Amino acid sequence: MAEVAQVVNLKSLPEFKNEPWQDFSKAEVRRAMADALAKVRGEFGREYSLLVAGEWTKSGRTFESRNPSNPSQVIGVLQKATPELAAKAVEDAHAYFAEWRKVPAAQRAAMLLKAGDIVRKRKFEFIAWQVFEAGKTWPEADADVCEAIDFCEYYAREALRYDAPPAVPQFPGERDELRYTPLGVGVVIPPWNFPLAIMGGTTTSALVAGNTVVLKPASDTPVNAAKFVEVLLEAGFPPRAVNFIPGSGGEIGDLLVEHPKTRFISFTGSKEVGLRIVELAAKTQPGQIWIKRVIAEMGGKDAIIVDSECDLDAAVQGVLVSAFGFQGQKCSACSRAIVDQSLYDEFLEKLKAKTEAIRVGPAEDPENYMGPVINASARKKILDYIEIGKGEGRLVTGGKAIEHETGGYFIEPTIFADVDRGARIFQEEIFGPVLAVTKARDFGHALELANDSEYGLTGSVYTKNRDKIERAKDEFHVGNLYFNRKSTGAMVASHPFGGFNMSGTDSKAGGPDYLLQFLQAKSIGEVIA
């Protein structure tokens, strides 16, 4: 294992603060971003190996990661893990766990803080990788990178806190304590839409708690993950603690989940895949001696309520950025606007005008507010939902793919009005720039409509009425609820993130309970002689 002399303690660290975003209106910041884009372009097409059992490895099979703004551009060439290499990764991670778990939390936390600092120093470069590989615009990519830094800083502090838990009441004649210990091998399966923040957060939370990790990155954004694994190694994390195995979910996903030495699975993605993981993990395999944990975040069908007593312009802006930021490809994105009937027509008029002013094009151009959707399959799915929507509501604006000389996967921001609560575009997650607008009779009806969903991730309410705010706090059934602000943009520490119902296990990433997902408590009582 790499030697890391530095250790940290909680008292010596400053209070956690969120990493500040860049101001791209400043000339020097734009120049730094342009330089980073040029640097990253120079690395296009590089090949990235697997990291299995502490060794960089090639499988002999590769796949390409491409730029969704310009699919002719190959961002990187990735080795594709075989089932044999995936099994080897789990087996070796299990073997190495006995050593890694004994590394003091103060040392693991120091590694994680160093990783965050490395990303901070290379921030523009990491922003550029997201612009090209994920199709994120500059501000969206910046927010993602800042969140990844936040996770490093926050989880390092949390690991130290759990390493020194409060004393328990002492039973007479005993010396009693409660310790938190790591679990074992964690399979981490992150999404493509937050290729540094969620991928990094789910990986580092498990590592800093003392677990070993097998990371299977999203096939659309594996280069971002490869770059972060390089950062972890530079920061001192031992190569055997984190395995990097990009590959086909259909080929190695079930194997990783079902392996008897897999102790937990941390997954972010679709409801369908998440539920399959829950089902597979629940079945005990030969040789398995534990009940596997599943930490799952599975999406949403998020609603913003626009009440009769609101700042209408603020509500329009909040819906706009929540629905169309990063092309609606966020589990927290607003895909349902539920608007009081007294404001309905004016709301639609204002929203239509602002939506039609949105510029769509390649993400590397800072003048574009929206970039591409992630791939051709996603574009087809979204366009299919738009066709369904044409039969379920009134098309207000948008509704078509945008042809561009780069061949990117661009779609117009699309709004449907007069959508019934039983419509598919009201109920089903689309994961694209498509908004369904529905009329509410009053605030109670708006809450009823908002809760008419199998999901329960995020929601927002625009109102100036304090009684309605208090009522929504009690009755709006979501894991993350906001008032008079957008439904996206949860901040680490301030807004622990995770949803109810089919949105997942409500594990609250970036919150004080999150590391408990990767720890188990040992109660110890010793008779005093």
Judge whether 68 and 378 are in contact, CB under 8 Å.
no
What distances in angstroms separate CA 415 from CA 163, 287, 333, 433, one per listed residue?
A: 50, 53, 14, 8
Return the SS3 of 357.
coil
Q: In DSSP terms, which residues pair with 337 in a beta bridge? A: 304, 437
Residue type, 123: K
Question: How are beta strands 455-456 and 434-440 bridged, if at all?
Answer: unpaired
Residues in the chain: 529
- Rounded alpha-carbon distances, angstroms, from residue 268 to 106, 110, 187, 223: 28, 27, 12, 18
Catalytic residue among 331, 364, 412, 429: 331
Give yes or no: 349 in active site.
no
Question: What single string gives the DSSP state of each residue in 222-233?
Answer: HHHHHHHHHHHH
Beta-bridge mates of residue 467: none
State the Cα–Cα distance between residues 247 and 331, nearest whole angstrom: 23
Phi (first) and psi of residue 250, to 5 degrees? -65, -25
Distance CA 333, CA 433 (A): 9
Query: Using an 8 Å Cβ cutoff, are 336 and 303 in contact?
Result: yes
User: 3-state class of 124 per DSSP?
Assistant: helix
- How many Å apart are CA 425 and CA 429, to the nearest integer? 8
Q: Where are the beta strands (DSSP E) in 32-159?
A: 46-48, 50-52, 55-57, 62-67, 70-79
Tokens of 492: 């680490």
Q: Exposed (0-12), middle (13-18) or buried (19+): which is 427, by Cβ within 10 Å? A: middle
Distance separating alpha carbons of residues 214 and 203, to the nearest angstrom = 9
Catalytic residue among 125, 153, 158, 297: 297
Coil, helix or strand at residue 5 = coil
DSSP string, 104-116: -HHHHHHHHHHHH
Q: Residue 10 corresponds to which tokens in the numbers above?
A: 């909680």
Please report, for residues 70, 78, 80, 246, 380, the alpha-carbon distance to residue 62 in angstroms, rounded to integers and kept in the order given: 20, 5, 5, 10, 25
First to last CA, the chain: 40
- Please indicate whether residue 297 is annotated as part of the active site: yes
DSSP of 467-481, one letter per residue? HHHHHHHHH---SEE
Q: Is the Cβ–Cβ distance between 224 and 199 less than 8 Å? A: yes
Check if the beta carbon of residue 412 is closer than 8 Å to that of residue 400: yes
Which residues are annotated as catalytic? 297, 331
